[in-house]
Amino acid sequence: MKKNTFLLLPLLVLLISLGLDRLFTLEFFQYYYSNTLSHLNFISKEDLYSDLKEYLKKDPSSRKKTLVFFGNSRALLLPTRELEKRHPDWVLYNFSVPGGSPDYFLYWVERFKSDGTRPDFVLLDQSLEIYNKTPVLALDEVLIYGLSPEFIFRHWTRYSREELSVFISKHLFHTYRDRPKFWRISERMQNSSALAKVYEAAVQKVLTMLKEDRGSTPRELVKQKHTDEQLIQASETDFSSYLKPYTFHSSMFEMQKDSIHILKEYKVPYATIWVKVARPYFNLYMTRKVETSEGLKTPMEVWKPIVERFNEETGTAFWNMNEDPDYNCEEFADPGHMSPNCFPVFGDYIFKKLEETFPKDQTK
């Protein structure tokens, strides 16, 4: 038996590696190497969900109606406090995250059903980019920060081997996930860790703001507006990065359909929304042919018939901001994201559509 103890060596090495990995990625050390705040959107959602559950325990007659928005970075800046003042019958819980996709939406919808959490209305993003299986720049933040191992295990057949590999490796080894840089650690250790303290203060500030604004990022943190010339140039880059080639991700669409079927079964009113993008970018959607599984087509020629057919079959409301003349705010921070100045108008659009499509007696 002793002769075979060497077989335990790989396991021992793995355990030591995992132990060191967790040690070096403790929250304290993250202040010395982390260079992003986007993951805080995911971390804060657990507290947001707790707040939502507590709020929904109140007698319906004594509380506002609740709107839950499952979106991506295009909806992060919705001004919840400002909108509550203008639409006093409603309160918005913004579950949008960077790279928000149907698997992330389904993860939460399943939890809502399991916990008996019943918001008065649910809005789900329905954009072209989230259904492209073969983008040049793949967004993996949802895989890294947004989904549980249990969820991945139940839905593993809907993910590619590469996606499963990313999930497993970056959940096992946080140093691989975070990629700490020694030069940054050294820089932040200088002057009594002054820069590390600045980053720590920024983390706490953002977490506080996300809690106060029910999941939304304050608009004052993003002060940006592109000129028409900049939008034209950036649209070409974004289109090549996210939509060329365009392979419709049927598994991702199946997860969106699962969320909708659960909401219908659970009798929770819902709608889907296509958030507006800059016109030069939208024009590329419509006119630029790319490689698809059906030959050379525009992304719109692939995506729109599938979505429209599903909407018709299920009676799903589709709020198409890109082709709705009633929405006309034309300021953009980049091709895919509206300027912070447009978000109050964006919020008004949501509540107007909500009140038009679902009368009060259906949403209370």
Q: Are 99 and 139 in contact (CB under 8 A)?
A: yes
DSSP state of 131: G
Peptide bond into 149 cis (omega under 30): no
Q: What angle do CA 220, 225, 231 make, to 5 degrees?
A: 145
What pLDDT, on the 0 to 100 scale, is given for residue 38?
85
Q: Could you tell me the sign of the dihedral formed by the alpha carbons of 345, 350, 353, 358, in that order?
A: negative
Kindly state the tokens that stand for 214. Answer: 């029910």
What pTM was estimated for this model as a whole?
0.91
**For residue 272, what are the β-bridge partners?**
124, 318
- Sorted by where each starts, the structural domains of the chain and their CATH numbers stand as 11-357 (3.40.50.1110)
Kindly state the tokens that stand for 24. Answer: 């070096």
Q: What angle do CA 204, 205, 210 make, to 5 degrees?
A: 100
Spatial CA neighbour of 268 closest among 74, 110, 126, 62: 110
Residue ranges of the alpha helices (H) in 213-342? 228-242, 250-265, 279-287, 299-314
Instruction: Give the pairing type, strands 90-94 and 270-274.
Output: unpaired
What pLDDT, on the 0 to 100 scale, is given for residue 362?
46
Q: Are 332 and 339 in contact (CB under 8 A)?
A: yes
Spatial CA neighbour of 83 closest among 351, 317, 364: 351
What pLDDT, on the 0 to 100 scale, is given for residue 355?
85
Query: Cα 19 to chain center, whole Å?
Result: 31
Quote the CA–CA distance of 103 and 107 in Å, as a whole number: 6
Q: What angle do CA 86, 55, 353 make, to 5 degrees?
A: 35
Kindly state the tokens that stand for 71. Answer: 């979106």
CA distances in angstroms from 128 to 133, 226, 343, 360, listed in the order given: 11, 22, 21, 31
User: pLDDT digit of tens for each residue in the chain (364 aa)?
Assistant: 555 666 677 777 777 777 776 777 778 778 888 888 889 999 999 999 999 999 999 998 899 999 999 999 999 999 999 999 999 999 999 999 999 999 999 999 999 999 999 999 999 999 999 999 999 988 889 999 999 999 999 999 999 999 999 999 998 888 888 888 889 989 999 999 999 999 999 899 999 999 999 999 876 656 577 788 899 999 999 999 999 999 999 999 999 999 999 999 999 999 999 999 999 999 999 999 999 998 999 999 999 999 999 999 999 999 999 999 989 899 999 999 999 999 999 999 999 998 887 665 444 4
What pLDDT, on the 0 to 100 scale, is given for residue 363?
43
Quote the CA–CA distance of 287 and 297 in Å, as a whole number: 9
Quote the CA–CA distance of 125 and 102 in Å, as a whole number: 8
